[in-house]
Chains A and B, each alone.
Chain A
Amino acid sequence: MSVPAEWYLLVSALLFITGTVGVLIRRNVIVMFMCIELMLNAVNLTFVTFDRMMGGLAGQIAVFFVLVVAAAEVVVGLAIIVSIFRRRASTDADQVSLLKW
């Protein structure tokens, strides 16, 4: 007996919502970052689920792309966060509105 696909999708949706809400309501950049990772992985889960349903490979390959991009993003993002923290001694996202008009 296998778990029906809907369950996977449900988990994925829950993960995505958790991530989205997290990004929206938390102000700590590191937590926001983790929430973004959560969203990415929710998408990954969806990819894999559908891939399994359709019996193809493309979705799984896309997952690898997402993983690579996420890794790259973490590298750059954390570097930015560290440098901002060094400058401002804070990881509050709302205080880092440097890129406005």
Chain B
Amino acid sequence: MVRLAAQGGTELPGYIPLIPFFPMAGALLLLLFRRSIGRGRWAGIVASSVIGSSFVLTLMAVGNLMTMTGAPEERTLSGPAYEWIAAGGLNVAMTFKVDALTAVMLLIVTGVGTLIHVYSIGYMEHDERKATYFGYLNLFAGSMLLLVLANNFLVLYVGWELVGLCSYLLISFWYFKPEAAAAGKKAFLVNRIGDVGFLIGILLIYAHFGTLDFDEVFARATELQGAIVTAIPLLLFVGAVGKSAQVPLHVWLPDAMEGPTPVSALIHAATMVTAGVYMVARTHVFFEASHTAALTVATIGAVTALFAATVACLQDDIKRVLAYSTISQLGFMFLAVGVGALSHSPVAYAAAIFHLVTHAFFKALLFLGAGSVMHALEGETNMKKMGGLIKTLPRTGWTFIVGWLAILGIPPLSGFFSKDAILVSTYEEGWFLLWLIASAAALLTAFYMSRQVFLVFFGKSRSSEDVHPHESPSIMTGPLVVLAGLAAISGMWLGLTHAGPIFRLLEPLFGVHEEAGTEAFLGIPEAGLVMIAVALSVLGMFLAWRLYLARGGEERRAALQERWSGLASFVRSGYRLDALYGALFVWPGKTIANVAAYAFDVRVIDGAVNGLAVSIGRSAEGVRRVQSGLVRRYVMAMLTGAVVLLALFIARAN
């Protein structure tokens, strides 16, 4: 595949393009021959082994990367796979690049991806369209790998749109349910709104740099002058907001839960939705150049974190809680990259990526656990009809608890390290208000996650008599155990301190962290901040316990419900944003379209055309009356004409 020479840097090893190519080819195979592969477990096995091979190749690439010597900035593998579009000075090749950031993303996509593929074999056992499902899943993996491997904006955009497509296909996988089809379309369209912004950003970049290659663009990013400095990062961020479901474009993600649960785990928790964070981190030089843009990122992140957490507290659907939780956690990541850009803080950037990694583990775990619960309860998603499942579903339950403690940030589980890295760096860089918002969000996170665990796994069973929960097969619980292990230890392993591997790994990209020096606000030392965070988590847990597990919780809930019922239903509906958007955009849009199509186009434009035709017809109608058929009238006319002509001649002659 490699035909062109690498443009600087190390030459691209031939196996790198295979990383996205394998899943793509797998997708093609599965979708074209879905009938012959569709029986039994073959589709799942093919799909899993394809993504598994990509994982192995990724490990090779990472190994290759780690054994490289030389300056940290030069430890990359990059080069073009083939020339794609070349016209009128534009020259875009399929260029790939593996550096530390890409390597982290690759590992998550292929690693978590493989686990979820395997899990899906069990989860989709009884679906007759398995081959299609695995085809889409493979297509997604390939697209996501393309996205993270891209070494220029257009290739990134290709992956970006393709993952959006796969998200659409998989959300509306059960297309015969109208809600699923609508949710898929909504996801695609909301994403496209973001993509338009992203595309315009790319156009701006090309107009100013004359190239779309990352290396050259980033190297010259500081050349920009004027309003464009802010415009480019903001437009890129619009794309990120759409893809990563940040306020105000988050509305698609809760609806996306109509898709199969492993899809929610892979696409809407671990990988695709983090693409926005990845993109902002990748293009961070632009954000660092513009205070406004960086502040926007951090603020939107913090606001989203809190906003989504409040909504999550009141959801009854097991998956919707996790969906809002994902939105909230992505908000944390954006807060971190925003702070990183605002304060040029390598630690904050690294914290964002760190949280991205741990979140991928524990959120995928939680989603898959929820899927396992639904599997056991024959598709039930209402948490009000669950309860006490820890006894019947021990493996699902205990792994879910690991995920729960991890997201809460209970030491020494992974979430503790990554979330605290975000909170601490926000605080230490002096963004006190943002820290406050994020801490409130962390408190609510603890509350809603505990509420979920208590409602689902503890207390009395509220499910109907004829449902007999059964533990899922080991092909499903196996990935759960692996993910639980990762969710438990990845924090300690990767980022025990600011000298942890993840921080070191990302140094070539974001710069070297200089210890201390920043004056802490109110003089709270780092240990204090950590203690506050843990205390908040415990407080949230306690509140949930009081309301949902402790004796008298029922009454307390009823009292609250009575007092705040209006507010509660407002928040539960996601602040009625769907209705607001409907009234603000959808309805006027449709009205305009209707007026344009049926009043303007038919009446005015076509009316003018037909009107012209009709008026010509009418005048012809009048003229033809002259043709009376009476011979003598014709003669009279002829005579008159002759006389008039004669008179004219005579007049001219004189």
Residues of A at the B interface (CB closer than 8 Å) are 20, 23-24, 27, 32, 93-94, 96-101
Are A24 and B632 in touch, CB under 8 angstroms? yes
Cα separation A88 to B435 with both chains bound (whole Å): 107
Are B630 and A93 in touch, CB under 8 angstroms? yes
Cα separation A27 to B633 with both chains bound (whole Å): 11
Are B625 and A94 in touch, CB under 8 angstroms? no
Cα separation A3 to B448 with both chains bound (whole Å): 132
What size tier do the contact residues of chain B reach?
A: 10 to 19
B225 at the interface (CB under 8 A from A): no
The B interface is mostly helix, strand or loop, or mixed, namely helix
Question: Known: A20-B639, A24-B639. Is A101-B624 also a contact (CB below 8 A)?
Answer: yes
Are A97 and B632 in touch, CB under 8 angstroms? no
* A-B complex: 8 closest residue pairs judged by Cβ atoms: A100-B629, A97-B629, A101-B624, A99-B629, A93-B631, A23-B635, A97-B630, A101-B627
Known: A99-B627, A101-B629. 8 other contacts (CB 8 A): A24-B636, A32-B632, A93-B631, A94-B630, A97-B630, A99-B629, A100-B627, A101-B627
Are A24 and B627 in touch, CB under 8 angstroms? no
Residues on A with C-beta less than 8 A from B629 are 96-101
Residues on A with C-beta less than 8 A from B627 are 99-101
Residues on B with C-beta less than 8 A from A98 are 629
Are A101 and B625 in touch, CB under 8 angstroms? yes
Are A24 and B635 in touch, CB under 8 angstroms? yes
B645: shortest Cβ distance to chain A, in Å? Answer: 15
Residues on B with C-beta less than 8 A from A20 are 635, 639
Nearest residue, chain A, Cβ from B620 = A101
B361: shortest Cβ distance to chain A, in Å? Answer: 87
Count of A-B residue pairs with CB < 8 Å: 32
Please, could you name 28 A-B residue pairs with CB atoms under 8 Å apart, sorted by A?
A20-B635, A20-B639, A23-B635, A24-B632, A24-B635, A24-B636, A27-B632, A32-B631, A93-B630, A93-B631, A93-B632, A94-B632, A96-B629, A96-B631, A97-B628, A97-B629, A97-B630, A98-B629, A99-B627, A99-B629, A100-B627, A100-B628, A100-B629, A100-B630, A101-B624, A101-B625, A101-B627, A101-B629
Residues on A with C-beta less than 8 A from B635 are 20, 23-24
Cα separation A96 to B630 with both chains bound (whole Å): 7
Nearest residue, chain B, Cβ from A99 = B629
Residues of B at the A interface (CB closer than 8 Å) are 624-625, 627-632, 635-636, 639
Cα separation A20 to B630 with both chains bound (whole Å): 16
Cα separation A4 to B635 with both chains bound (whole Å): 32
Cα separation A47 to B632 with both chains bound (whole Å): 26
Residues on B with C-beta less than 8 A from A97 are 628-630
Residues on A with C-beta less than 8 A from B625 are 101
Residues on B with C-beta less than 8 A from A23 are 632, 635
Cα separation A20 to B627 with both chains bound (whole Å): 21
Cα separation A3 to B467 with both chains bound (whole Å): 134
Residues on A with C-beta less than 8 A from B624 are 101
Cα separation A93 to B635 with both chains bound (whole Å): 12
Cα separation A24 to B628 with both chains bound (whole Å): 15
Nearest residue, chain B, Cβ from A100 = B629
A67: shortest Cβ distance to chain B, in Å? Answer: 22
Residues on A with C-beta less than 8 A from B631 are 32, 93, 96
Cα separation A24 to B627 with both chains bound (whole Å): 17
Cα separation A12 to B458 with both chains bound (whole Å): 128
Give the most central of B624, B625, B630, B636: most A CB within 10 Å: B630
Give the most central of B627, B631, B636: most A CB within 10 Å: B631
Cα separation A5 to B541 with both chains bound (whole Å): 134
A81: shortest Cβ distance to chain B, in Å? Answer: 12
A8: shortest Cβ distance to chain B, in Å? Answer: 20
Residues on B with C-beta less than 8 A from A94 are 630, 632
Residues on B with C-beta less than 8 A from A96 are 629, 631
B152: shortest Cβ distance to chain A, in Å? Answer: 72
Nearest residue, chain B, Cβ from A94 = B630
A7: shortest Cβ distance to chain B, in Å? Answer: 22
Cα separation A50 to B600 with both chains bound (whole Å): 70
Cα separation A64 to B625 with both chains bound (whole Å): 38
B640: shortest Cβ distance to chain A, in Å? Answer: 11
A97: shortest Cβ distance to chain B, in Å? Answer: 3
Cα separation A100 to B18 with both chains bound (whole Å): 82
Cα separation A93 to B629 with both chains bound (whole Å): 10
Residues on A with C-beta less than 8 A from B639 are 20, 24
Nearest residue, chain A, Cβ from B636 = A24
Cα separation A74 to B600 with both chains bound (whole Å): 61
B136: shortest Cβ distance to chain A, in Å? Answer: 67
B618: shortest Cβ distance to chain A, in Å? Answer: 14
Cα separation A32 to B632 with both chains bound (whole Å): 9
Residues on B with C-beta less than 8 A from A99 are 627, 629
Cα separation A32 to B625 with both chains bound (whole Å): 24
Cα separation A24 to B636 with both chains bound (whole Å): 7
Cα separation A32 to B631 with both chains bound (whole Å): 10
Cα separation A11 to B636 with both chains bound (whole Å): 22
Nearest residue, chain B, Cβ from A95 = B630
Residues on A with C-beta less than 8 A from B628 are 97, 100
Cα separation A20 to B640 with both chains bound (whole Å): 12
Cα separation A76 to B630 with both chains bound (whole Å): 19
Give the most central of A27, A94, A96: most B CB within 10 Å: A94
Nearest residue, chain A, Cβ from B623 = A101
Cα separation A34 to B25 with both chains bound (whole Å): 95
Cα separation A99 to B636 with both chains bound (whole Å): 17
Nearest residue, chain A, Cβ from B630 = A97
